[in-house]
Structure 1
Amino acid sequence: MWVSLALLALGVVAAVAAPRLLARADWPEREPIVALWVWQCVVAAVLLSFALSMTFSAAAAWQAVRGHVFAPAPQAVVEAYGLADHAPWSAVLAALLACGGLWTAAMLTRVVRRARARRRRRRAELLVRAPLLPGEEPGSEPLVLLEGDRPDAWWLPGAAPRLVITTAALRRLKGRQLDAVLAHEQGHARARHDWLLHCASALAEGFPRIPVFAAFHAEMHRLVELAADDAASKRYGRLTTALALVGLNEDRGVFGPYPAAPDAQLPQRVNRLLTAAPRLTPGHRLRLTAAATLAPAVPLLVALAPGLRALN
C-alpha cells in the first residue's frame, strides 16, 4: 500500500508546489506557448497521480479490481505491491478519489454545456443582427461583419468557428492593424483555446481550494491571450499589434488608473508588446518542453517501480 500513499503524496506536493515555482519564474510571459504546455503537463501529472493512487487503493481493497488490474502480471509482481495486506482505509481512499474523478467529469460536463448554451445564444443574436442572405447556409461564412458603434472583434468557437468584427472596428483600425486583430482571433481558433479554458474552469470550479487548479485557471486566461498576441505579432509586428489593441479598446476605460476587471490585463499586454523582451534560446525552450513532458512520467515510474524490481 505504500505505492498508493506515495502517489497520493506526490499529487498533493505537486498541487501545492508547482504554482509557487511557476509564479516565481519570469519566462512564462516571454514564452506563453511553452508555459501553456508546462501547465498542462503539471496538471496532467497531478491528475495521473490521484488516478493511479485510486487504482492501487481499489486493487488493495477489492479482489475483483485486483484481478483486473494485475490479470497479466506474474505472482511475484502482485506480491511486490503488498496488496494482500491492505489497510482498512484503502477502500475509503479509493472511494474518495473515485468521487473526485466523478466530480471532475461532472464539472467538465457542466462547463461544456454552459458554454454551448452561451454559444447558441450568441449565434442566435448574431443571426438577428446579421441575417442570412438568400442562398446562404448558417455557419458558411467564416467572417461576419456587424453594424455597430463600438469597435469590437471576437472569435465564436464551435464546429464552424467564426470571426466577428464590427463596422466601428473597420473604421477605427486600418490596414495591418485590422489584419493583426484578425490574426489574434485566428490564433485562438487554430489552438482550440476554448477547450483548454473549459478544462481549466471545470477543475477550478470543482476544486477551488486546490492551489494548482486555481492557478491553472487564472494562468490559462492570461497565457492564451499572450499566445494569440504573439501569433499576431509574428506576422504583423509587435508595434502594429499593440496599436491595434489600443485602438480596439481605448474607449472602454481600460488604460485608466482603474481598468475594468475583464480587461485589466490589456495595459500589461500592450506594454509587453512594446518592450519586446528577448525570447528564450531554442535550447532553453527545448529543455523546458522536455522537462514538462516528463512530468506525467514521474507518477508512472512510482507506480511501476515495485513491479519492475520484482521482474529483475
Structure 2
Amino acid sequence: MMVPALLLLLGALTAVAAPRFLARAEWPDREPVVALWVWQCVVAAVLLCCALSMTLSAAAAWQAVRGHVFAPAPQGVVEAYAFGATGSWAAATAVALACGAVWTAAMLIREIVRARARSRQRRDEVLLRAPLLPGEEPGTGRLVVLEGERPDAWWLSGAAPRLVVTTAALRRLKGRQLDAVVAHEEGHAQARHDWLLHCSAALAVGFPQVPVFAAFRDEMHRLVELAADDMASRRFGRVTTALALVELNEGRGVFGPGPAPQAHVPQRVHRLLTPPGRLTAARRLRLTAAAALVPVVPVLVAFVPGLRALS
C-alpha cells in the first residue's frame, strides 16, 4: 500500500515548493487578501496530507480502525488499497502522525489561552488607566482615550471590542488620519486576522524545524497589515493612511538607518504612496480557484484506488 507514502511525499513537496513559489511571485503585495487565501490553502493541504496518511496508515495497521473507516465501502474498494501488503511501518507512521496531530492541537490551545490572557491583561490595564465614570456601563463606548506621551492605537478585543488611542496619538493625527487608523483596526477585527495569527504562531512554535510553518507565520504578520492598510486606504485615501502610519511610528526609530523592531512600516508607507497596480479580476479569480484546488489534490490521491475499484 503506497497511498500513505505518496501523501507524505506530496505534503513534503507542497511544503517545500509552495513557499519558494510565493516568495518569487510579485503579486502577493498587490493582492494581500488573495495571498492570505493562498497561504491558508497551502498549509491546509500540508495538514490534510498528514491527516489522510495517518488515517490510511492506521487502517492498514489495525483491523478495528479499518472497519470504521471503510464501513460503508464495498469489499472491492477495501481490497484495492492492498492493506494486507503493509509491514510494521504502517503502525509506526500512524502513531507518529497521531502524536503530531495531538501536538498541533496542544500548541493551538496554548496559543489561544495565552492570547486570551494577554487580552484580559490589556483590558485590565485599560480599565486601570481609564476607569469607568459613575453611572457608566462597561463596554458602552467603542473608543477609549488614554493619557500617554507615546502615540499609539490598538484594537482591544473582547465581548465589546473597542479602539484604544493615546492622547499623544490624538495630538499627532490630523484631519481624517484618525478615521484611517480606526478603519485599519476595524479591518483586522472584521477579517478575524487574530485567528490567522494564532494558528500560524501555533504551527511555527510547535514545529520549528518545518520551514513552511515559519514562513506561514511571517507572511501572516505582514499580509494582514497590508490587507488592513488597503481597507483603510479605500475609505480614506492612501496618502491619509500613509501619513497616519508615519505619525504613529515616527518616534519609534523605524524610519532611521539601521535595523528597527518594526522595519516593515517604511515598506508599508512606500506601498501606500506608490501603490502597485492591482491584478485584473480574472487573474484574481484564477489564483483563488487554483489555490482552492491545492487541498483537493491530497483528497484525490487518497481516493484514487477506491475510485478505480468502483469504475
Unpaired stretches in structure 2, ≥5 consecutive residues? none
The structure 1 segments of at least 4 consecutive aligned residues displaced by more than 3 Å after TM superposition are none
Partner of 1:301: 300
Partner of 1:182: 182
Secondary structure of the structure 2 residue equivalent to 1:148: coil
Moved more, 152-161 or 121-130: 152-161
Q: Structure 1 vs Structure 2: percent identity of aligned residues? A: 74
Distance 1:72 1:97 in 2: 25
User: TM-score, normalising length from structure 1?
Assistant: 0.98
Partner of 1:91: 91
Distance 1:108 1:175 in 2: 41
Partner of 1:156: 156
Partner of 1:169: 169
Moved more, 155-164 or 30-39: 155-164
User: TM-score, normalising length from structure 2?
Assistant: 0.98
Partner of 1:274: 273
The answer on 1:215 being equivalent to 2:215 is yes
Partner of 2:235: 235
Per-residue CA deviation, residues 4-61 of structure 1 (Å, 9 max, x unaligned), is 1111111111111111111000100010000000000000000000000000000000
Partner of 2:263: 264
Per-residue CA deviation, residues 237-284 of structure 1 (Å, 9 max, x unaligned), is 1111101100111111110012422x1100000001111110101011
Distance 2:230 2:54 in 1: 40
Moved more, 141-150 or 102-111: 141-150
Q: How far off is 1:158 after superposition?
A: 2.5
Partner of 2:15: 15
The answer on 1:25 being equivalent to 2:15 is no
Aligned length: 311
Indicate if the aligned counterparts of 1:172 and 1:247 stay in contact, CA closer than 8 A.
Answer: yes
Counting only pairs closer than 5 Å after superposition, residues 14-163 of structure 1 correspond to structure 2 as 14-163=14-163
Per-residue CA deviation, residues 270-308 of structure 1 (Å, 9 max, x unaligned), is 001111110101011000000001111000000111111
Counting only pairs closer than 5 Å after superposition, residues 197-212 of structure 1 correspond to structure 2 as 197-212=197-212
Distance 1:110 1:136 in 2: 35
Unpaired stretches in structure 1, ≥5 consecutive residues? none
Distance 2:136 2:19 in 1: 48
Distance 2:139 2:211 in 1: 40
Paired amino acid for 2:204: A
Distance 1:98 1:162 in 2: 40
Q: How far off is 1:142 after superposition?
A: 2.0
